[in-house]
A = this chain, B = another copy of it.
């Protein structure tokens, strides 16, 4: 590894190697599911020891950017339906069992971004967004009403999709090369009004859990804003703090 390889100096060598490898994920030199070169190949290419490459890859594996499999190789992490749902969907039943929802699309529109969408998606005032309105069921009962917003510029053809999958994150990755790797959720309690009262079959004023999620990609770019209102009489939002 020459001095010109990396302008951010004063970093340990393994951290520089990691930055370089992460950059190749960002610029899509390596795409989800693809196998990376072996540790020895990378070490030879970058002129560092195998141990240094290993430390970089181990950190990337800890951050779930890559998956390492003994005897097979190192692969770029990819989203499957189940992974994305289990990873980001945090509602559990009374026995702490994670539940996976079904989804029904209620409406789909392209419109000018509102103030929250501008702020969270990092777009300009006046930009357009695609908005998806969904009702989600757990154990067959309607529990969640949510509105999903994505920037039209980032994903031009979402509204033309014939059939939207239950987990949209696989679609973002497959059709637009956008991998949701991080998310921030801001949660509060709100009193139900229309349309939740009708859709969820509850009285006006019933307390609902509102989850506002901003999902971002590897390089910190906002991919999706999602505001979900959940009826939490039978379910809980569970978080583990460590």
Q: Which A positions have Cβ atoms within 8 angstroms of B? A: 63-64, 87-88, 90, 92, 96, 181-191, 205-210, 212, 230, 232-233, 235-242
| Interface pairs A-B: 8 shortest CB-CB | A188-B232, A189-B207, A207-B207, A189-B189, A186-B236, A187-B237, A189-B209, A183-B241
Question: Residues of B contacting A238 with CB < 8 Å?
Answer: 184-187
> CB within 8 A of A189: which of B182, B208, B239?
B208
Bound complex: CA of A235 vs CA of B210, how far in Å?
Answer: 12
Question: Residues of B contacting A90 with CB < 8 Å?
Answer: 241
Question: Residues of B contacting A212 with CB < 8 Å?
Answer: 236
Pairwise interchain contact B191-A206, C-beta atoms closer than 8 A: yes
Min Cβ gap A54→B in Å is 12
> CB within 8 A of A186: which of B189, B190, B233, B237?
B237
> CB within 8 A of A187: which of B64, B183, B239?
B239
Min Cβ gap A39→B in Å is 17
Given contacts A187-B187, A207-B191, contact A182 B232 (CB under 8 A): no
Question: Residues of B contacting A63 with CB < 8 Å?
Answer: 242
Question: Residues of B contacting A242 with CB < 8 Å?
Answer: 63-64, 181-182
Question: Residues of B contacting A187 with CB < 8 Å?
Answer: 187, 209, 232, 236-239
Query: Can you report 7 residue pairs joining A to B where beta carbons are below 8 Å apart?
Result: A90-B241, A185-B240, A188-B235, A188-B237, A189-B207, A189-B210, A209-B209
